[in-house]
Structure 1
Amino acid sequence: MERKVAVVGAGLSGLIACKYVVSKGYKPIVFEAKSSLGGVWTKTVETTKLQTAKQLYHFTDFPWPESVPDFPDQDQVLAYIQSYARHFDLQKHIRFNTKVVSISYEGVDEEEIKAWGMWGGTGEAFSKKGKWNIAVENSDSSSEVHQVDFVILCLGRFSEVPNIPEFPPGNGPEAFQGEVIHANEYVAMDYRKAADFVKGKRVTIVGFQKFALDIAAECAAVNGKENPCTVLYKTPHWFMPDFMPWGVPLALLYLNRFAELLVQKPGQGFLLSVLSTLLSPVRWSFCKFVESHIKRKLPLEKYGIVPKHSFLEEISSCSIVTMPENFFDLADKGSIVLKKADGFRFCKEGVVANGEAEPAKSDLVLFATGFRGEQKLRDIFASRSFGELITGSPSAIVPLYRYTLTRNWH
C-alpha cells in the first residue's frame, strides 16, 4: 500500500523533507500557501542578503554556483532554492496557493493518545490505528480535506502570526491618528510600492533587530532628514560590520569543534564541564577580541548603543547579523534617529517613550517585533490537545529543540 505523506510549507525545510520522502519510496504532497516556493525568501526588504556565508548555508547535495558571492542577495538565494527544486523534480509534488487551515487525527481517542509512551503505541512512524486529515483552502476559496499517513510541519517561525505588543486601554494603536502596520505587511509589498508607501511620512520603527534596521535604512533613504525615521528600541545588540574581526575569519573563532568546548551544554558530563570552565579565559578573550573590532568599526559609543551583554550571548543564540552598510551614514545626516526606551504608549501625534513628555511625532508606526512561532504551530491543530503536546506549556510532552525532532525520537 502506498504511503502518503503531507509536507506543510515549501521553503527550505519543506523541499528537503519532500526530497527525503521521495527517496524513501513514499508519496509526498506539499501544501504551500503562496504562489511560489522559497518560504521567507520570497518576500524581503530590498537590501536583504544572506547573513551566513554560503559555504555554511547550502544543500549538501547541491552546491552553490561558483559565480555567486559569499553573501548572496535575496534574488540569488531564491534562484538557488528554485534550482534545487527543479534539479530534483520536486515542483510536481507541490500544491501552490493551498493554505492548510486545520490538521486533525482520526481513528483514535485523544485520551488514548495521551497515554501512549510512544507514537501510535508502537513507535512506528505509520500507525495502523489512525490517519491524519489535512483541511486546506485554495486561492478560489474552495476547500478540500486530504487524508494522509504522516505529516511533516515545515511552517517556519518568521511569518503569518506577528508579535504585536499589548497596551493598556487607551494607550494602544487606537489612540493614534496615523497608520500602524507590522513589518510582515511591509515586506509583502514590492520594492517600488514599499518606497511609495513610506514616502513623505514620518516613520517610527519599533524594534532593534536586523528587520528593523534594514527597513529603517530604506525609509531614511526615501525620506531623508526632512522626514527622519525614528528607531525605538529597548535592548541594543552586537551587529557585525563584517565577518573578519581584525582580519581573522569569525568562523575560525567560533564555527569549529574547538569553539564547542568553550560553551557549557546541558548533559555534557563532568569532564567536558570542567574543560569548558578551564577554557573560560579563552572564551572571554575571543569575545573581547570581536567586541573591540565592532566598536572600532561602528560608532556604537557615539550613539550610546553598546550592548551590556557579551558577544558570546549573541552568537550562541544565532543572532549575529550585519549592520546595513549605510545605516550610520544616514544617522549622521539626521535621516535616522535612535531612541532608547523600556516602553512606550501611543498618543494622537505618535508614540511617547516612557519617562518622556513629548511624543515622537509620526505618520506611520511599524512594528518590527518578530513573530509568534509557537502560536502558529499550535493553532494549526484542530485539537487543542495536539497543540499542547508540542508547545504551549512548560510541561509539553514534546518540547522540541528549535521545533525539530531528532531521528532517534520515539
Structure 2
Amino acid sequence: MEVCIIGAGYFGISAAKTCLDHNLKPFVLNKTSRIGGVWNGLPEQIGVWDSLHTNGSKYLFSYSDHLWPSEDPAYPSVSQVMDYLDSYIQKHHLASCIHHNCEVLHVEKIDNYFLVRWKNHYEIREKIFSYVIVATGKLSKESSQFRNTEKFKGLILKGGFYREPSVLAGKKVVCIGRSFTGCDISLEALKVGAKVTQIYKRKYIYNKRFAKGLPTDFFIYNPSVLRESMKFPLSLSLIEKVNSITIKSHGNPGTLAPEWHISQEEAKNNIFPTVIQSDDYNEAIKNKKITLIKGKAVDLYKDGVVLEDGSKIEADVIVLCMGYETNLDFLSESIKSTIEYKPENKDSALSIYRLVLHPDIPGLAFVGLLMTGAPGRGDLQSEIAIRWFKGILNITEGEMRKGIEDEKKMRNHFGEYPWNYVGHLLLPEYLRILNMKVDIDGIKKKLGYKGPVIPQFLFMNREGQNDLAKKAVEQIKAQYPKL
C-alpha cells in the first residue's frame, strides 16, 4: 500500500522511514531538485543562509535510529545538517522513494481515496492514494503586509531568501522583525553594512544556545518532563512558570537593552515569543551596535520604511523578517473547510488533533507543523499518523474531537499569538497517545546517565535500539563528562 508524502525535508524523510517500518511504501513528492526542505538553501525557495547553525542541539535534533557524527559540533551547520539527512536516506535506502521537482498542485478526497495532482517540470500528473501525509512544514510561506514595494528605490530582501551578506556590504540595512531570522541577519549585516537598524513590535524572551556549559535543550528536556502532562486550557500560572524559568536561566532581556525589560507583572500575564540569540548578537545589542526601534512598519517610501506613528527610517536595504505562514493552498476547499484552515494565523493555521490528524478526514495526516525541539518529534508524529491509518491508534474519536475543541478555544483566547502547546509537553503527550514508555530510571541506572531525554530512548523495542541508545549516551558523556 502506497502512502503519498508531500515534502522531503526533515519531517517528510522521517515519515518515509516510518512507512517502511510498517510495511507501507512511501511515495514522496519533493518540490525541488534536492532533499532537505528549507535546509537545502536552494535560491528559488524559502531556506536557510550559509552561516546558520541549528537552534536545537544535535543530540535532540536527530532521528531516533540515527546518530550524528561525533565530530560535528553541538549545533551543526547547514552543510552538516544536509550531510546528516543524506546519510539517513542512504542508510534506509529511501532515495528511490523520493520524486524530485514535483510541485503538488491539488489534493482532494474522493470517496475513500485521495486524488493528488502535481507538476513535474512542465508535465501535469495525478495519482490515487489511500493515505496522504502533508510534511511541507511551518516555514512554507513568508509573511509580509507590504503591497506597494515598488515605491522603495533600494533593495527589498525577504529573510527566507537571504543567503550571504555581500548584498548588504556598505549599506544602511533595516531588518523588520525580531525573531530568529531578524536577529541572525541583523548580526550578519553588522559585519559588512554601514548601519544596521532592527524594527520590532513586541518584547521577546530569549534563550542562549548554552547554559552552564551544556546545550540549553538539555535542561528543557530533562527527565522530569516525562512526568508532566498536557492540559487545556493552558493556565496563566503555567505561562508565568515558563516565562520565569527562561528569564532566570538566560537573563532578563532588559540586561541587553533597557527597553526590552520584562517585569514580574508582565511575565505573569503575557505570552512572550521566545527567540534563540547568539552571544555575538547579545553583545552587539548590549554595546548598542544595532539600532533598536520599537514600532509597527506599515508602509514603504522611496528612501525607507514608514512606521505606524508616521516616523520614517532610511534604508538602502530592507530585510523582511516578519515570520512565516503555513501554506496548504493545494488542499481542496472541502479539506480546508474541515480543518478550518486560516493561514493568516501564524501559530495555529488549522484545527486538528495534536497537530497530526482530524477524525473527519481519515487517511490524511500532517507532520512538522510546530517548531518545537521535542526529541523524536518527527518520528513520533509519523508513528501517530501511520498507526491511525492502520486503525491501531488507541485514541477514541471523542478524545480527538475534544482535543480539537480545546485548540479552537486556545486560538480564540490568545488571539494573534496563540500558545496552544508548550513545546516540551508534546513529548509526554505523544508518548501517551502511542502508549509508549521511556524507562528513564532504568537507563540512568544501567548507563550511569544524568542527561536529557534523547530520541534514541524511544522505540526501545526496535532491534538494535538498546545498543544505539548506549552509543548515544557514550557520545554525550564524552563531550559533557559531568553527565
Shorter-chain TM-score range: 0.7 to 0.9
Pair 1:254 & 2:220 matched:
yes
Post-superposition offset of 1:23: 2.5
Matches within 5 A, 1:161-172: 161-165=141-145, 172=148
1:299 aligns to 2:256 (yes or no): yes
Task: Quote the residue 2:337 is aligned against.
Answer: 388
Matched with 2:303 is: 349
Shift of 1:202: 2.2
- 1:156-305 equivalences in 2 (<5 Å): 156-159=137-140, 161-165=141-145, 172-187=148-163, 191=164, 195-223=165-193, 227-244=194-211, 250-251=216-217, 253-258=219-224, 265-266=231-232, 286-292=245-251, 299-301=256-258, 304-305=259-260
What's the offset of the Cα at 1:198?
A: 2.5
Q: Quote the residue 2:136 is aligned against.
A: 155
Please, which of 108, 114, 132 is the counterpart of residue 132 of structure 1?
114
Alignment: residue pair count = 351
Q: Which residue of 2 aligns with 1:31?
A: 29
Tell whether 2:71 aligns with 1:67.
Answer: yes
The alignment partner of 1:219 has SS state of helix
Give per-residue Cα distances to partners, 1:140-190, cap 9 Å, x unaligned: x2221122221111111102x2111257xxxx5344233333212224xxx
Distance in 1 separating the partners of 2:350 and 2:181: 33
Which residue in 2 is equivalent to 1:103?
107
**Partners in 1 of 2:68 and 2:355 — Cα distance?**
26
Give the aligned partner of residue 124 of structure 1.
none
Q: Is 1:41 paired with 2:11? A: no
1-structure distance, mates of 2:268, 2:60 = 20
- Deviations 1:84-130 (Å, cap 9, x if unpaired)? 01110101110011111111223x3xxxxxxxxxxxxxxxxxxxxx3
1:340 is matched with which residue: 274, 288, 294? Answer: 294
- Select the residue among 5, 27, 30 that pairs with 1:7: 5
The secondary structure found in structure 1 opposite 2:305 is: strand
Distance 1:294 1:229, change over 3 A: closer
Q: How does 1:321-336 map to 2 (within 5 A)?
A: 321-323=276-278, 325-326=280-281, 328-329=283-284, 332=287, 334=289, 336=290
Cα distance, 1:388 vs. partner? 1.7
CA distance 1:299–1:186, change in 2 (3 Å):
same
Change in Cα spacing, 1:397 to 1:101, as seen in structure 2 (3 Å) is: closer
Give the Å deviation of 1:200. 3.4
**Distance (Å, rounded) in 1 between the aligned partners of 2:26 and 2:154:** 46
Match 1:402 to one of 338, 355, 375: 355
Alignment-mate amino acid for residue 146 of structure 1: K
Unmatched runs of 5 consecutive residues or more in structure 2: 42-47, 358-364, 366-383, 398-483
The answer as to whether partners of 2:108 and 2:116 remain within 8 angstroms in 1 is yes
- Find the aligned partners of 1:321 and 1:384 in 2 and give their Cα distance: 37
Q: Do the aligned partners of 1:388 and 1:396 also contact (CA within 8 Å) in 2?
A: no
Residues in 2 aligned to 1:311 and 1:252: alpha-carbon distance in whole angstroms: 25
Tell me if structure 1 keeps the 8 A contact 2:6–2:135: yes
In 1, distance between residues paired with 2:108 and 2:320?
33
* Preserved CA contact (<8 Å) 2:117 2:125: yes
Q: Distance in 2 between matches of 1:7 and 1:327?
A: 40
Once the two structures are TM-superposed, the CA of residue 22 in structure 1 deviates from its matched residue by 2.1
User: Could you tell me the percent identity over the aligned residues?
Assistant: 22
RMSD between superposed Cα atoms in Å:
3.5
Q: For structure 1, which runs of at least 5 residues remain unmatched after alignment?
A: 109-129
Q: 1:342 to 1:217 in 2, by over 3 A?
A: same
Larger Rg: 1
DSSP-derived class of the 1:54 partner: coil
Shift of 1:75: 1.3
Cα displacement (A) at 1:71: 1.4
In 1, Cα distance between the equivalents of 2:241 and 2:144? 40
Distance 2:70 2:174 in 1: 40
Deviations 1:324-377 (A, max 9, x none): 62563387474x3221114443222211223354x211122221111111xx12
2:430 — aligned with what? none
Structure 1 length normalisation: TM-score? 0.74
Instruction: Look up the match of 2:95.
Output: 91
Alpha-carbon distance between aligned partners in 2 of 1:325 and 1:314, rounded to the nearest angstrom: 26
